[in-house]
Chains A and B, each alone.
Chain A
Amino acid sequence: MPRLPLSRHLRATLWLSGCLVLMLGAGGGCGAGASRSKPRPTVIQNIGSDTMVNLAQAWAEAYQGVAPNLSVEVSGGGSGLGIAALMNGTADVANSSRHIEPEEEAKGAQRWGIKPREFLVGFDALSIYVHKDNPITEISMEELHEIYAEGGRIDRWSQLGITNIPNARTDRIIRVSRQNNSGTYQYFRDVVCGKHTDFKLGSLDMNGSKDVVELVSRTPGAIGYSGLGYRTENVKMIPVSPRKGARAVLPNIATTLDRSYPISRPMFMYTPGQPPPHVLAFLEWVVSPAGQSIVERIGYIPMPPKEAAP
């Protein structure tokens, strides 16, 4: 059974994009490739990662001020959906919180003759959150593995030397996680549990980044992971060290860029081959200081100035 790269909102999106393709095909004569080479200076279709959807929306709004006669239409659905849309010509720009996979690239090249071009547009760091009264000061990747991964041996705070969490009522570590098809879940699993290991059963699986932080802020014995931008004053972000004994750091711009913070990932935008001028202008603006200041405002990590200069 071939696994189709389809996802949320997908019937509607597909119908809509199907209609768009038909219209483009009818107008351009020989399909998406031909119509893309002519500049269509009105709409840029931007589809992909749910992690990046707030950021992409903010970029789209701010870009209205830069190029008033051009509108960027943003929709989510996941990195996989974005890349699929790119390959079948319904997206001008795909957002992805991971690298394009070799099989996706091969499929695109084989079926559509597209060689996607990659633009690094920023970084996302997953923070580890605990309740604000939790006295823990740092945690290592090994400890996170033992807490979260299937077969891991840490189930109790006392095993980490934490015995005095006010109002926790239990020594048990209450693990807060995400639903099993979220990109954040899969990224955290790959980095913390290991590529071939699963999560331990019994975690509370929330349906959004914000819900994780919300639950942790109400539950003294809880630990959870979520985006850096979702921090509130009722939770504590704890420093993470790559190995037991190594220096533990908080996620921020400096520690993400020098790669000392172990749970961070790049965010990409993809175009099908060399983009037309209006799309290229948009992407250049995204990586410019003006675009990168929005990355920081939304709660992600902007690129260092030397990379950001176009």
Chain B
Amino acid sequence: MNPPPVRQARSALSLWGERAIEWIIRLCGISAVIFVFSIFLFVFLEGAPLIPDLNWIQVIFSPEWYPTSRSNVRYGVGAMIIGTLSVTGLAMLFAVPFGLGAAVFVSEFCGGRLKETLKVVIEMLAAIPSIVWGFIGLSVMNHLIQTWLPAPVGLNLFNAALLLALMSVPIIVSIGEDALKAVPDSYREAALALGATRWQTVYRVLLPAARNGLLAAVLLGVGRAIGETMAVLMATGHAVNIPTSLFDPIRTLTATIAAELGETAVGSPHYRMLFLIGLMLFSITFVVNLLADLAVRGVRRQ
């Protein structure tokens, strides 16, 4: 066997190497926490000086957004909150049935090559940059909606919701499919043994069993839709407006930040207000992610 001195030298070296690597891994793990926390802190500190100066009831409920007014500056984001919620809600109305349907199809009803092809194509859909979606909304969908639907203007709630639905479907499909795959095969075998049809298996056995995972898939889709900026900036029409129909132009919180932050004087109240809008978005996505996380925990417990 090897003589002892060599072994000692190697172990000293490997001890140090191991320590170093351990530290690097630890740093990687902590860095995510540090980044999230410092981003939150940065956004909060940029916006914070304005918090006591605002009439918060007016900010949240008033649609009057006049940050650069000469005579009467008003920071009402009510219309934008409604805009964000309505476009996300409508997008989910399109995306959830399609996304979950596709997840069930990919996971249960097709096999072999078709399954692999579908998965690759759906993942490609997720890889399309949002600016490209926005461009499609601005040129193609704008024209189609204007021509075929009773819409006075092609850039509207419906256009943006359709884009957001297309953007969140791949997320819902791939996470939903994972959730269905996680249901043990013994469930399917038991259902088969009881004489259940494939549809009965899906409807009565798999969907309830994968419920939490599917909920997490939907919530992550919601998170994607709320946070989306470029596509909605280009496709909503960017109008401060409380929508009364599907074809009304709207404005979202994210698009407002994107459109205005670039030309705002650093440190001005307008600048701080945009950071406070960022803080609102931060809180909304935090709640959505928290719900998704709780749903996934529910899955694990099962």
Interface positions of A (Cβ within 8 A of B): 1-8, 10, 78, 168-170, 172, 174, 179-182, 185-186, 189-190, 195-198, 201-207, 215, 218-219, 221-222
Report chain B residues within 8 Å CB of A10. 266
The minimal Cβ–Cβ distance linking B66 to chain A, given in whole angstroms, is 5
- Contact: A204 with B237, CB < 8 Å? yes
The minimal Cβ–Cβ distance linking A228 to chain B, given in whole angstroms, is 23
The residue in chain B whose Cβ has the minimal distance to the Cβ of A183 is B263
Q: List 26 A-B pairs, Cβ < 8 Å.
A: A3-B265, A4-B265, A4-B266, A169-B150, A174-B153, A179-B238, A180-B67, A182-B263, A189-B70, A197-B71, A198-B71, A201-B65, A202-B239, A202-B240, A202-B249, A204-B155, A204-B237, A204-B238, A207-B233, A207-B238, A207-B259, A215-B155, A218-B142, A218-B146, A219-B153, A219-B154
Tell me, in angstroms, the Cα distance from A243 to B64 when the chains sit together.
30
Which secondary structure characterizes the binding site on chain B? loop
Tell me, in angstroms, the Cα distance from A253 to B184 when the chains sit together.
78
Q: B55 at interface (Cβ–Cβ under 8 A)?
A: no
Tell me, in angstroms, the Cα distance from A169 to B270 when the chains sit together.
37
The residue in chain A whose Cβ has the minimal distance to the Cβ of B268 is A3
- Contact: B263 with A201, CB < 8 Å? no
The minimal Cβ–Cβ distance linking A156 to chain B, given in whole angstroms, is 12
Tell me, in angstroms, the Cα distance from A215 to B237 when the chains sit together.
9
Report chain B residues within 8 Å CB of A6. 265-266
Report chain A residues within 8 Å CB of B79. 201
Report chain A residues within 8 Å CB of B71. 195-198
- Contact: B267 with A1, CB < 8 Å? yes
Question: What 18 additional pairs, Cβ within 8 angstroms, besides A174-B153, A181-B264, A221-B152?
Answer: A1-B267, A78-B263, A170-B152, A179-B263, A180-B260, A181-B260, A182-B263, A189-B70, A195-B70, A198-B71, A201-B79, A202-B241, A204-B239, A205-B259, A207-B259, A218-B143, A218-B154, A219-B146
Interface positions of B (Cβ within 8 A of A): 49, 63-72, 79, 142-143, 146, 150-155, 233, 237-241, 249, 251, 259-260, 262-270
Tell me, in angstroms, the Cα distance from A215 to B155 when the chains sit together.
9
The residue in chain A whose Cβ has the minimal distance to the Cβ of B66 is A198
The residue in chain A whose Cβ has the minimal distance to the Cβ of B67 is A180
The residue in chain A whose Cβ has the minimal distance to the Cβ of B267 is A4
Which one of A7, A168, A207 contacts B265 once the chains associate, using CB atoms below 8 Å? A7
Tell me, in angstroms, the Cα distance from A4 to B271 when the chains sit together.
11
* Residues A174 and B152 in contact in the complex (CB < 8 Å), given A6-B265, A196-B70, A201-B241: yes
The residue in chain B whose Cβ has the minimal distance to the Cβ of A150 is B66
Tell me, in angstroms, the Cα distance from A218 to B154 when the chains sit together.
8
10 closest cross-chain pairs (CB), A and B: A170-B152, A196-B71, A202-B241, A181-B263, A204-B237, A180-B68, A204-B239, A8-B263, A8-B262, A205-B238
Number of A-B pairs whose CB atoms are under 8 Å?
97
The minimal Cβ–Cβ distance linking A276 to chain B, given in whole angstroms, is 31
- Contact: B153 with A222, CB < 8 Å? yes
* Residues A179 and B259 in contact in the complex (CB < 8 Å), given A5-B265, A169-B150: yes
Which secondary structure characterizes the binding site on chain A? loop
* Residues A7 and B259 in contact in the complex (CB < 8 Å), given A195-B70, A196-B70, A203-B239: no
The residue in chain B whose Cβ has the minimal distance to the Cβ of A50 is B263
Tell me, in angstroms, the Cα distance from A203 to B153 when the chains sit together.
12
Tell me, in angstroms, the Cα distance from A174 to B240 when the chains sit together.
13
Tell me, in angstroms, the Cα distance from A85 to B152 when the chains sit together.
44
The minimal Cβ–Cβ distance linking B32 to chain A, given in whole angstroms, is 26
* Residues A1 and B237 in contact in the complex (CB < 8 Å), given A180-B68, A219-B153, A221-B152: no
The residue in chain B whose Cβ has the minimal distance to the Cβ of A219 is B153
Tell me, in angstroms, the Cα distance from A268 to B79 when the chains sit together.
38
- Contact: B153 with A221, CB < 8 Å? yes
Which one of B151, B238, B266 contacts A169 once the chains associate, using CB atoms below 8 Å? B151
The minimal Cβ–Cβ distance linking B189 to chain A, given in whole angstroms, is 56
- Report which residue of A181, A203, A222 has the largest number of chain B beta carbons within 10 angstroms of its beta carbon: A181
- Contact: B68 with A4, CB < 8 Å? no
Which one of B64, B260, B267 contacts A201 once the chains associate, using CB atoms below 8 Å? B64
Report chain A residues within 8 Å CB of B63. 201
The residue in chain A whose Cβ has the minimal distance to the Cβ of B240 is A201
Report chain A residues within 8 Å CB of B142. 218
- Report which residue of B63, B64, B67, B266 has the largest number of chain A beta carbons within 10 angstroms of its beta carbon: B266
Report chain B residues within 8 Å CB of A204. 153, 155, 237-239, 249
Tell me, in angstroms, the Cα distance from A189 to B264 when the chains sit together.
18
The residue in chain A whose Cβ has the minimal distance to the Cβ of B63 is A201
- Contact: B72 with A198, CB < 8 Å? yes
Report chain A residues within 8 Å CB of B152. 168-170, 172, 174, 219, 221
Report chain A residues within 8 Å CB of B150. 169
The residue in chain A whose Cβ has the minimal distance to the Cβ of B151 is A169
Report chain B residues within 8 Å CB of A4. 265-268
